[in-house]
Amino acid sequence: MPGPRLFFIDSKNIIDNQISISNTALRHITKVLRIGVGDKIWIADERKKRYLIELTDVNHKKAQGKILETKEAAEPPAIEIILLQSILKGEKMDMLIQKATELGVSKILPLISERTIIKVKSPGKEKRWQSIAKEASQQSGRWEVPEFAPVTCFEDVFEKIGVIDFGLILWEGEQENRLKDVLERYPDSIKKICVFIGPEGGFTEKEIGLAKEKGFISVSMGDLILRAETAAITIIGILQYEFGNIG
């Protein structure tokens, strides 16, 4: 049987030994999962604390529970994956964020590259992406929601990623470096990887050259030409299998 489900709330809703839930998680608890009085769930807050609670009251306005167990922050992930993702159209970007979150990506940095179709920076869109990541974290049982950076131009992203163990940029024009061969050259001890994924039209040679100047390795996935969203999900899964917690 699966363990208790996880939901995120603000710490201001924790008073003494009681937790009150009245945000968007309430509908999921009552209408979707039909969790009720006497059931146990996990709650996480922005301080990276976790609480196992037993629900004592559930109605259409709020749910309340008493704290049975408290945990501090979970163990850090085996690997930190930073996804540098050129913005995709509509539901493609939504789906990518959902699946990348489920696969354990640590940070998502949306990019505007030369061939990005969507050119307008939208605070509302960023808020939507964060909401999707939060819901995906709850559904998959992650203890933390991936961090989001503001939408950034390709040329400016290198100042925002900090120190990494190595970086990859996926490019269908790469003739020498296959992803599998490149990954075999790196030890299991690496902890932080950045990976660029282009828009529907891919990266330009100028962008590939700039990434290489900054130390990124251009790689292909062999003969496969994948859609941008498929490529992102695939490479995150591969990195988690090679260096992370999958498998």
Q: How many structural domains are present in the chain?
A: 2
CATH assignment at residue 179: 3.40.1280.10
Distance CA 127, CA 176 (A): 39
At 121-172, the pLDDT tens digits run 556 788 889 889 988 888 887 878 899 888 999 999 999 998 899 999 999 8
First-to-final CA distance of the chain: 21
pLDDT above 80: residue 188 = no
Higher pLDDT, 215 or 127: 215
Does 133 lie in the same domain as 234? yes
CA-wise closest residue to 133 among 169, 168, 165, 85: 85
Place of tokens 């961090």: 147
User: By the 8 A CB rule, do 100 and 239 touch?
Assistant: no
| Domain final residue, candidates 23, 38, 71 | 71
At 2-48, the pLDDT tens digits run 567 888 888 888 888 888 887 667 776 776 677 888 888 888 887 77
Does 17 lie in the same domain as 105? no
Does 26 lie in the same domain as 135? no
CA-wise closest residue to 3 among 45, 35, 46, 42: 42
| Domain final residue, candidates 71, 89, 124 | 71
